Amino acid sequence: MDSDRRRHSRSWDWDSPECRAQLDDVFFRQHDYIQAGSPEHKEFWTFFDRFQRFKTKRDMTGSGSSRKEEKKDRKQTGHVDLGLPKDYDARYRINVSVCTRDVEERLAKSEHRGRKSSSGPGPQEVSDCRLALLHFLDFNQRQSFGKLAKLRREQKNLPIFQYRDRIVDLVRRHPVVVVAGDTGCGKSTQVPQYLLSAGFKHIACTQPRRIACISLAKRVSFESLNQYGSKVGYQIRFETSRTAATKLLFLTEGLLLRQIQQDRTLAQYEVLIVDEVHERHLHCDFLLGVLRTLLESRPDLRLILMSATINIKLFSDYFNSAPVMQVPGRLFPIQVIYQPIPPEEQASRSEKLDPRPYLRILQAIDQRYPPEERGDLLLFLSGVAEISTIQEACQIYATHTRRWIVLPLHSTLSLAQQDKVFDIAPPGVRKCIISTNIAETSVTIDGVRFVVDSGKVKEMSFDPKAKMQRLQEFWISRASSEQRKGRAGRTGPGVCYRLYAESDYDAFAPYPVPEIHRVALDSLILQMKSMGLGDPLSFVFIDPPPAASIQTAVTYLKEQGALDSHSELTSIGSLLAQLPVDVVIGKMLVLGSLFNLVEPVLTVAAALSVQSPFLRSSQHNPDCATARQPLHSNQGDPFSLLNTFNAWVEVKGERGGGSRKWCRRRGLEEQRLYEMVNLRRQFKDLLRSHSLLESEDSAPSAGDRTQRRDRLTERRKLHQLKRDHEQQEGSRRKVLRLDEGQDGDFSSGSDSEEKGKGKKDKKGPEQDVDIQEVKFKLRHNVSELQDAVNVSQDLSSRQQALLKLLLCRGLYPQLALPDEHNNTRKDSEQVFHTRNKQGVVIHPTSVFASDPEVLHVPEDETREMGPDRRDSSRHQLLAFVTLLETNKPYLSNCVRVPALQALLLVANSVDSNADCTRLVVDGWLEVELREQEEALNVLSTALTLRAEWERLLQAQLGQGSMGVSGVHGVSRKAMEKLSEGLVRFLLYTEVSYSLRRLAAFQTQNLYVGPQSESELFDAKSQGLNPLFPGLEAKPDPIKGGLRVTSFFTYNCLTDSKDLYSECLRTFWTCPNCDLYMPLTPLERMQHEASCRPKGEQHNEDPSDERASSSSSASSLCRVYHCDICNEDLKLTSTEILKHKRQHMYSVK
């Protein structure tokens, strides 16, 4: 009996930690299966308490203590005796034993010898503990095996399980197989496993979404009991779990395409599975086209297309009538109710959605279905505005009835808010999830019984004429409609309310418009070019895009400088094709690598590649707005993002996990900042791998041994935290509160902070581990990051100017001109024009929406030159990242730049009149300068700077592509000098000019057109040295005039006077040589370009520039006398110009 034992056990107390610790020394030593201090160890002692209580209870009731086995005569079955013990003991049912004899002997000895540990465990205690441990081990085995058995049962119950052998057989016999099955048939998780266990190795399975790659890899590796092995892996942009042992890899379609770029035959794979082909994403359509060709050279390759049961024939036909295996989905019956919206409740375009039809359905559900019958409602609307309208109305109803929790779901919500839809409603209450089509395929919510389908979707389309993306509302397709309906039947029979008539349904398009027909094809065409796929127009797509969009893309890429005039890749183009980012972002990175601005450019490029961290819902919260204020920069949104990131890194360095609170207070989604920091790091690696950035010292970053050890210990701890978190992840869902949805979109920063605190109390400290912070610390060295960030903090105005120029050049031709009447308009009515679209507005999230004055030309600095001509030196343009039309065309992520300087430095086409006082840029912006002298100076400076910039850029790129590491194609000196020149030009050009957009009729007869040779050329002009080495001024065959550089055409504008007409000649003294004569502007520029001032290098290190240029340029050198220095110098023409320029600036 218990009391008995206690008497015998001297001072033994099972509840005393000391006593337990003594047993820990026996059973849970450092190398034991379970170690003291581990989570299992803790579990054991909890189990032990339970086990003791159970034993006591059993002993008391006497139920188990009946030691005497009934001496029933055993009828011997046959002659076999199993030799089982006579007396029953639960111990005999455990197939494990624990040997601790060594320790026990030691214990016994020490007790015997010195009686030192008189209070130590006696044999009884050790035996009690051992018994409990055996039961504990057995209990854990049973639990885990139970889970395994359940898993296997579920796998067997999947519809696709019946087709297992047939699928494997088809794959063995055919190069291409189509597996078509609807939601819930299990194809994505099972088919790869079937192929693995059939002996196929090196399987790649593509997914349209990154998140699916990770979750599928986790799921499949879990199902194949290989959770911690590496046979199943994933690889997404910038992140991989792939190892040499990986047999099955989940990856994005885009990534597989990149792999084909490296390895034309994909020799690394034996089987390719392309999943979700019916979704018809751009990359997927393209991938299919590429694979179709690739199969010809890889007859051994197996290709499996997996699709919903939509348009299967299209895929089968595209691959030479590939066999199709159709698998039924697992859907419960769904009742469809058509409830078209009556005309009086239909919203016209401008009006808000009428909530009445939606409320009626909520009411109907409340009336028809008792609250004990569980089942949530999923409501599909077209967009965010519609969601908040209906959410508001439903919330009022929900507050009244207390039977609903209303939750919005769309991609611009914070992740925490998105996550709420997976939480559970309390008994008697239903979730009403109001979602965009994100819940149609991307997000799967269990427990939905009712679906309400508005029949509408907002889809992005690309308008090639306006070069603008457009978000428009459409009727959905029948396929989408079925998909939405299916969401009601995943866990049981369901109901689908369609807010349109059956006749509408019949009139829907059968399938959604494939992406390739809707979007800009720039990246696609660039990739095709770099893969050497020939003319994009003749490529056999499964569903070819319109020729016009291909053409638009080619033109755009030419404007961006990625393709040359023959549509061939330029050196920058081939680099851009390898960077897995948008063309404009890639350009920024490349440009940034040239100057000392890599760190801020990396941040900006990363920031512009992820969703904005500024939560829209917090914008109207005054506290958030105030807290955010110091982060805003009126230079432009990229600068606000840069400030935000820098400030965040600083907070991270100081307070670590405190950054979460910091973000909340400012209405920032911290997840985006984590994405940025990861992306930034990857961009850096990318630039390094293309030799565009010096490699950092690989030597361990400082610190003595103890420091390193500390860091190592910390990392181990972090890894443990991460593992623990992954274990808990998704294990249990929270129960929602009834008022959960109410604060929804309108939650203020301080409110949610309080809520956070409340949660913390409930959960306890361990639950509150900020896993993002843990991952962040594992991935990044905070102090290194701080160093990097310090570089980009408090940029000088000069660096800022240069950074803006880089962004502008990256973003070009995405430029917008403020309307000339903006000064007199209200803040909310500021209008802008792009080349292809007039009357666009700034998105309300942009800094320029709240602070438009900084874009205005200051009144006191303008000179009215006429009714519509205002001269100033302060005109500005906006370079923007996106132009998206929703209800209005909006510009987002804008940066302001000085207009004339930026245009002259980045534009592809600058045309002038004879005296260069009138310039037309890219055929749509007209610049009129007041002073001919100033005009020439500005133009000449710009031409020189651009030539030098181009030269250095090419040198940098050439170096990158040749992969010569260590050798720097661009000397630091040359780079610094160029940036100095650019900054001066940007900041100190004080030239008065007018700037306006040309009206359509003005662009009609812009150019003089081709001229005859005799008209243009005389011996004189040919005798002049070209402005730039290697470029000759040739007559432009289309515009007329003289093409001086690839972007500058002189005297081609129709108002131009005759090139050599005497009236243009003015007397001019060359500041460098003794020349004094009447010259035309062109003659003068040509002279200036060739007559280089000397003495330029006096204040420089002569060994650098001269040594490097002497070999290549000595033939171009000539003796030049500089008046200012009063010295004869032997210089090249470029050097002379630089020399001259130096004097020019120093005089100023």
Partner 1 sequence: KYKRSPSEIFTCQLCGLSSPFTYYGQKPPNTRAIVLLEECFVTKDPFSPDKEKFLVLGSTCSMCSSCVCVGSDCSLFYTKRFCMQCVNKYLDQFPHQIQAELAKKRQSSKTAVS
- Of these, 8, 10, 42, 147, which contacts partner 1 (CB under 8 A)? 147
- Of these, 67, 79, 99, 765, which contacts partner 1 (CB under 8 A)? 99
Per-residue contact flags (x/-) with partner 1 for residues 155 to 194, judged by CB under 8 A: ----------------------------------------
Q: Measure CA 909 to chain center.
A: 33
Q: Distance between CA 1100 and CA 1108 in Å, rounded?
A: 14
The answer to whether residues 832 and 819 touch, using CB atoms and an 8 Å cutoff, is yes
Query: Smaller CB distance to partner 1: residue 72 or 826?
Result: 72
Query: Smaller CB distance to partner 1: residue 145 or 988?
Result: 145
Smallest gap, in angstroms, from Cβ of residue 733 to partner 1? 19
Interface with partner 1 includes 502 (CB under 8 A)? no
Which position has the token pair 């081990």? Answer: 137
- Of these, 36, 98, 625, 987, which contacts partner 1 (CB under 8 A)? 98
Smallest gap, in angstroms, from Cβ of residue 47 to partner 1? 15
Query: Smaller CB distance to partner 1: residue 27 or 286?
Result: 27
Q: Distance between CA 747 and CA 743 in Å, rounded?
A: 5
Tokens at 657, concatenated:
């996990």
SS3 state of residue 951: helix
- Of these, 61, 82, 372, 705, which contacts partner 1 (CB under 8 A)? 82
Which range in 106-114, 144-152, 322-330, 923-931 contacts partner 1 by CB under 8 A? 144-152
- Alpha helices, DSSP H only, in 301-370? 312-318, 356-368
Query: Smaller CB distance to partner 1: residue 126 or 398?
Result: 126
Q: Distance between CA 536 and CA 556 in Å, rounded?
A: 15
Phi, psi of 958, rounded to the nearest 5 degrees: -60, -40
SS3 state of residue 863: strand
- Of these, 36, 94, 531, 1125, which contacts partner 1 (CB under 8 A)? 94
Tokens at 457, concatenated:
């979707």
- Of these, 14, 25, 32, 1045, which contacts partner 1 (CB under 8 A)? 32
Smallest gap, in angstroms, from Cβ of residue 194 to partner 1? 13
Which range in 499-507, 723-731, 780-788, 935-943 contacts partner 1 by CB under 8 A? 723-731
- Of these, 61, 97, 1112, 1126, which contacts partner 1 (CB under 8 A)? 97
Phi, psi of 419, rounded to the nearest 5 degrees: -70, -25
Tokens at 682, concatenated:
């990857």
- Of these, 141, 162, 268, 346, which contacts partner 1 (CB under 8 A)? 141
Interface with partner 1 includes 225 (CB under 8 A)? yes
**Using alpha carbons only, what angle is made at residue 886 by residues 883 and 890, rounded to the nearest 5 degrees?**
35
Interface with partner 1 includes 112 (CB under 8 A)? no
User: Roughly what angle, to the nearest 10 degrees, separates helices 598-609 and 670-689?
Assistant: 130
Q: Measure CA 527 to chain center.
A: 19
Which whole-number Å values give the CA distances from 293 to 183, 207, 286, 299, in the listed order?
30, 20, 11, 11
- Alpha helices, DSSP H only, in 323-471? 356-368, 384-401, 415-419
Tokens at 551, concatenated:
């053409």
Query: Smaller CB distance to partner 1: residue 97 or 1111?
Result: 97
Query: Smaller CB distance to partner 1: residue 24 or 1135?
Result: 24
Tokens at 692, concatenated:
């565009």
Pairing of strands 1048-1050, 1042-1043: antiparallel
Pairing of strands 176-181, 324-327: parallel
Interface with partner 1 includes 415 (CB under 8 A)? no
The answer to whether residues 924 and 1003 touch, using CB atoms and an 8 Å cutoff, is yes
Which whole-number Å values give the CA distances from 194 to 151, 548, 1003, in the listed order?
15, 44, 64
- Of these, 54, 222, 746, 1076, which contacts partner 1 (CB under 8 A)? 222
Query: Smaller CB distance to partner 1: residue 32 or 1123?
Result: 32
- Of these, 5, 33, 540, 719, which contacts partner 1 (CB under 8 A)? 33
Smallest gap, in angstroms, from Cβ of residue 78 to partner 1? 9
Interface with partner 1 includes 100 (CB under 8 A)? yes
Which residues in 1060-1089 contact partner 1 (CB under 8 A)?
none
Q: Distance between CA 249 and CA 242 in Å, rounded?
A: 7
Query: Smaller CB distance to partner 1: residue 100 or 241?
Result: 100
- Of these, 84, 702, 967, 1119, which contacts partner 1 (CB under 8 A)? 84
Provide the residue type at 201 as one letter: K
Q: Distance between CA 1106 and CA 1114 in Å, rounded?
A: 10
Smallest gap, in angstroms, from Cβ of residue 708 to partner 1? 26
Smallest gap, in angstroms, from Cβ of residue 90 to partner 1? 8
Query: Smaller CB distance to partner 1: residue 215 or 1021?
Result: 215
The count of other CB atoms within 10 Å of the CB of residue 247 is: 19
Interface with partner 1 includes 71 (CB under 8 A)? no
Query: Smaller CB distance to partner 1: residue 136 or 880?
Result: 136
Per-residue contact flags (x/-) with partner 1 for residues 725 to 764, judged by CB under 8 A: -xx-------------------------------------
Q: What is the dihedral of CA 783, 785, 786, 790, to 10 degrees?
A: 140
- Of these, 68, 74, 115, 400, which contacts partner 1 (CB under 8 A)? 74
Per-residue contact flags (x/-) with partner 1 for residues 227 to 266, judged by CB under 8 A: xx--------------------------------------
Q: Distance between CA 807 and CA 895 in Å, rounded?
A: 8
Interface with partner 1 includes 510 (CB under 8 A)? no
Query: Smaller CB distance to partner 1: residue 148 or 415?
Result: 148
Interface with partner 1 includes 702 (CB under 8 A)? no
- Of these, 148, 396, 509, 778, which contacts partner 1 (CB under 8 A)? 148
For residue 1078, what is the enclosing H or E element?
Answer: strand 1076-1079
**Where would I find the beta strands (DSSP E) of 862-942?**
863-866, 869-871, 876-885, 889-898, 910-912, 918-921, 925-929
Query: Smaller CB distance to partner 1: residue 143 or 797?
Result: 143
Residues in binding contact with partner 1, number by CB under 8 A: 50
Provide the residue type at 1130 as one letter: K
- Of these, 54, 92, 746, 1145, which contacts partner 1 (CB under 8 A)? 92
Interface with partner 1 includes 781 (CB under 8 A)? no
Interface with partner 1 includes 65 (CB under 8 A)? no
SS3 state of residue 483: helix
Q: Distance between CA 806 and CA 590 in Å, rounded?
A: 10
The answer to whether residues 688 and 960 touch, using CB atoms and an 8 Å cutoff, is no
Smallest gap, in angstroms, from Cβ of residue 773 to partner 1? 20
3-state secondary structure 18-80: HHHHHHHHHHCCCCCCCCCCCHHHHHHHHHHHHHHHHHHHHHHHCCCCCCCCCCCCCCCCCCC
The answer to whether residues 179 and 167 touch, using CB atoms and an 8 Å cutoff, is yes
- Of these, 149, 509, 962, 1063, which contacts partner 1 (CB under 8 A)? 149
842 bridge partner residues: 891
From the number of C-beta atoms within 10 Å of its C-beta (0-12, 13-18, 19+), residue 652 rates as buried
Q: Distance between CA 294 and CA 272 in Å, rounded?
A: 12
Provide the residue type at 320 as one letter: N
- Of these, 2, 13, 49, 69, which contacts partner 1 (CB under 8 A)? 69
Interface with partner 1 includes 962 (CB under 8 A)? no
Which residues in 516-575 contact partner 1 (CB under 8 A)?
none
Interface with partner 1 includes 346 (CB under 8 A)? no
Smallest gap, in angstroms, from Cβ of residue 177 to partner 1? 24
Smallest gap, in angstroms, from Cβ of residue 149 to partner 1? 5
Give the footprint of partner 1 on this chain (CB under 8 A). Answer: 27, 31-33, 38-40, 69-70, 72, 74-75, 77, 80-82, 84-85, 87-88, 92-100, 137, 140-141, 143-145, 147-149, 152, 197, 222, 224-228, 723-724, 726-727
